[in-house]
């Protein structure tokens, strides 16, 4: 079995044991979706349903994936990289496993939360499931890459936590996770286009509200993939110069 798969399995096994992470990944966003859905009187016939579910799901996905990337610091402190890297395992295997775990986990989290949205608000999920899953995967990959970039920029776990909380809240507000971007001033509407939350929520809206075809979605998906590629490349470059593997 490839080292990437072994490390992926390790991350999955760790998550299965971490009840707090499970609650934070699924239960907390679900509670927020229900709460704000009730406050705003959201139902499946309004565009708010997709916005609400997608927005909260994205914000919590970012938190979970950034924390997952930050586990690199804990693994470093435990001396695990010394053991792993003294064997026939390249650094890239550690980074790829974190990225793929994040993308896979994100896909699962988004699909589960959208399924819950379908039950709670009557969102039509099943007819669009393949396209929705594709958008979810691209969004999750971009979030995973973003988490890795933040971890690569920080020197310590504390710094990574502070930086990530600030960036996630800012990006969620600007990107349309909390409210539609259209209510922002024109300048901020332009700025929001630089966030992955904007393109992810746009993709969700296109699938669930506008019933867009795959061809129509391609630019949105393309931008998310390009963001994931750019972020992960930057993270790789930073990790190779950081002390995390020393």
Partner 1 sequence: MQAHPDSFSPLGPLVGPSRRSHRMNTPAPALSLHSAVKRYGALTALDGVTLEIQPGEFFGLLGPNGAGKTTILALLAGLRAPDAGEARIGERPAGDPRARRELGLVPQGLALYPDLTAAENLEIFGGLYGLARSARRARTAELLQAVQLSDRRDSLVRTFSGGMMRRLNLAAALLHRPRLLLCDEPTVGVDPHSRNEIFELLRRLNREGVTIVYSTHYLEEASRLCSRIGIIDHGKILALGTQDELLERLPFEEEIRFPATAATAGLCADLAGLGQLATEDGLHRFRPAAGFPLSAFYLAAERRALPSRLFACARPSLEAVFLHLTGKSLRE
Q: Looking at residues 46 to 85 of the shown chain, list those that interact with partner 1 (rule: CB under 8 A).
A: 77-80, 82-85
User: For residues 56 and 25, what is the distance between their CA atoms, to the nearest angstrom?
Assistant: 11
Task: Report the nearest approach of partner 1 to the CB of residue 75 (Å).
Answer: 8
Q: What is the C-alpha to C-alpha distance for residues 122 and 96, in angstroms, rounded to an integer?
A: 37
The only residue of 41, 88, 130, 186 in contact with partner 1, by rule CB under 8 A? 88
Q: How far is the CB of 112 from partner 1 (least distance, A)?
A: 23
- 4 or 52: CB nearest partner 1: 4
Q: Cβ of residue 8: shortest distance to partner 1, in angstroms? A: 11
Give the binding range for partner 1 (CB under 8 A) out of 6-14, 127-135, 163-171, 181-189.
6-14
Residue from 41, 87, 185, 186 that binds partner 1 (CB under 8 A)?
Answer: 87
CB of 56 to partner 1, least distance (A): 27
Give me the 145-174 binding string for partner 1, x by CB under 8 A, dash otherwise: ------------------------------
Going by C-beta distance under 8 Å and a sequence separation of 6 or more, which residues neighbour residue 121? 37, 42, 43, 44, 49, 52, 53
Instruction: Tell me the CB-side half-sphere exposure of residue 55, using CA atoms within 13 A.
Output: 23
Q: How far is the CB of 232 from partner 1 (least distance, A)?
A: 22
Q: Which two tokens stand for residue 116?
A: 């819950």
Rounded least distance, CB 83 to partner 1, Å: 4
Applying the rule CB under 8 A, the residues between 227 and 246 that interact with partner 1 are 246
Shortest distance (Å) from residue 78 CB to partner 1: 6
Q: Kindly state the number of chain residues that form the binding site for partner 1, as judged by CB under 8 A.
A: 23
* Interacting span for partner 1 (CB under 8 A) from 13-21, 56-64, 139-147, 191-199: 13-21
Q: What is the C-alpha separation between 69 and 49, in angstroms, rounded?
A: 30
Contacting partner 1 (CB under 8 A), which of 9, 45, 190, 211? 9
Cα 220 to chain center, whole Å? 16
| Among 20, 39, 41, 86, contact with partner 1 (rule: CB under 8 A) | 86
Alpha-carbon distance of 85 to 83, in angstroms, equals 6
Site of interaction with partner 1 (CB under 8 A) = 1, 3, 6-7, 9-10, 13-14, 17-18, 77-80, 82-89, 246
């Amino acid at each position: 079995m490839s080292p990437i798969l072994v490390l992926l399995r390790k991350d999955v096994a760790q998550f299965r044991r971490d009840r707090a992470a499970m609650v934070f990944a699924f239960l907390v966003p679900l509670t927020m979706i229900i709460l704000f859905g009730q406050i705003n009187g959201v139902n499946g016939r309004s565009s708010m349903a997709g916005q609400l579910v997608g927005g909260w799901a994205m914000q919590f996905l970012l938190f979970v994936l950034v924390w997952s990337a930050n586990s690199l610091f804990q693994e470093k402190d435990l001396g695990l990289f010394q053991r792993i890297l003294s064997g026939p395992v390249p650094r890239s295997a550690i980074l790829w496993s974190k990225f793929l775990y994040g993308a896979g986990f994100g896909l699962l989290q988004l699909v589960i939360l959208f399924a819950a949205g379908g039950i709670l608000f009557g969102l039509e999920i099943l007819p669009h499931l393949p396209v929705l899953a594709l958008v979810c995967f691209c969004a999750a990959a971009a979030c995973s890459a973003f988490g890795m970039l933040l971890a690569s920029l920080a020197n310590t776990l504390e710094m990574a936590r502070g930086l990530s909380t600030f960036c996630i809240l800012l990006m969620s507000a600007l990107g349309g996770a909390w409210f539609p971007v259209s209510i922002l001033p024109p300048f901020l509407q332009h700025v929001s286009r630089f966030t992955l939350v904007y393109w992810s929520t746009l993709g969700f809206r296109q699938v669930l509200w506008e019933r867009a075809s795959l061809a129509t979605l391609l630019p949105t998906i393309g931008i998310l993939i390009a963001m994931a590629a750019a972020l992960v490349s930057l993270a790789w470059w930073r990790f190779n110069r950081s002390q995390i593997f020393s």
